[in-house]
A and B are shown apart, each in its own frame.
Chain A
Amino acid sequence: MPPAPDPDSRPNDLHLAFTATPVAIRDSLQRMLTLPPLCGLSEDGRGMAELVLAEVLNNVAEHAYANRPGPVTVSIGQTPQGLRCVIVDQGRAMPGHALPEGRLPGSLGPALEDLPEGGFGWHLIRSLTQGLSYTRVDGCNRLQFLLP
């Protein structure tokens, strides 16, 4: 059964359903950027939208589905406040049913071995979005946010 459709969606919204693998995510991002409403953004706006969507979708592939293929849907609609994005998957729930804080890894000391190689994703998502919310409904993860 596909993930439940977004109850607030409107006819002109962009909807895309695909399998959450790194290559399919890349292809889908590139396709989304050519379609409204993303294609109408400035170059900087498109770059930041692609970054946020990539981080969210890579998290779905890596964590919700633990690198096994699974379905994901992306819905993007234009609102007066910006682009409203909803991403739904059927993978594992977020630990504790809550979003990671996305704090940058520790203080950046001079020691090479202390440099973080990960943990940047949620920081980027939180830095570039507003109204980020997560719900677990009927076995689906539903992440919603605004790209201002």
Chain B
Amino acid sequence: MQLQTQTRPKVISVTVLEDRIDAASAIQFKEKMRDLTKDGPARVVLDLARVQFLDSSGLGAIVAVKKLLGPDRMLELSGLTPTVEKVFRLTRMDSIFTIHPSVEAAVSHAASA
């Protein structure tokens, strides 16, 4: 599970460099995210633009990361591909995340906030 981070003053973005987060990789994803976001800015943007496939295990791991960040930090999402977007919509998890069209949009949104 390859993740690439970029830290800015008020936001850290994490780009998933894999084409799937599934049952075979969900635990590793969750652990890496926990390590990468342990300290740092309050806003975390998870960029899923390269992720073509997300199953319920992957979705559960993303929700778990949001919970790990606690109430004072925010997990936002960007770049949902059509299939991934549908998983969020069908499970109504799209209502608990701020979803940006791209990581650039997410970062500029964070900068102006």
Query: Residues on A close to B: CB < 8 A?
Result: 22-23, 25-26, 43-44, 47-48, 50-51, 54-55, 58, 61-62, 104, 108, 112-113, 115-118, 120-121, 123-124, 127-128
Question: Is B3 close to A, CB under 8 A?
Answer: no
Chain A residues near B82 (CB, 8 Å)?
43-44, 47
The digit string for B75-102, where 1 denotes a CB below 8 A from any CB of A, is 0000000110011001111011000000
Q: With contacts A47-B83, A120-B59 known, is A112 near B66, CB below 8 A?
A: yes
The digit string for B18-46, where 1 denotes a CB below 8 A from any CB of A, is 00101110000000000000000000000
Question: Is B64 close to A, CB under 8 A?
Answer: yes
Chain A residues near B87 (CB, 8 Å)?
51, 124
Chain B residues near A104 (CB, 8 Å)?
91-92
State whether A120 touches B56 (Cβ < 8 A).
yes
Q: How many residues of B contact A (CB 8 A)?
A: 28
State whether B24 touches A23 (Cβ < 8 A).
yes
Q: Which 4 A-B pairs have the closest CB atoms?
A: A47-B83, A22-B24, A120-B56, A121-B56
State whether B23 touches A58 (Cβ < 8 A).
yes
Question: Is B9 close to A, CB under 8 A?
Answer: no
How far is the CB of A70 from the nearest CB of chain B, in Å? 15
- A to B contact number (C-beta, < 8 Å): 77
Q: How far is B60's CA from A128's CA once the two chains are assembled, in angstroms?
A: 19
B24, B55, B92: the one contacting A55 at CB < 8 Å is B55
State whether A115 touches B67 (Cβ < 8 A).
yes
Q: How far is B95's CA from A108's CA once the two chains are assembled, in angstroms?
A: 9
Chain B residues near A108 (CB, 8 Å)?
92, 95-96
20 contacts between A and B (CB under 8 A): A22-B24, A23-B24, A25-B23, A26-B23, A44-B82, A47-B82, A47-B86, A51-B55, A54-B22, A54-B23, A58-B23, A61-B23, A104-B92, A108-B95, A115-B67, A116-B60, A117-B63, A123-B91, A124-B56, A124-B91
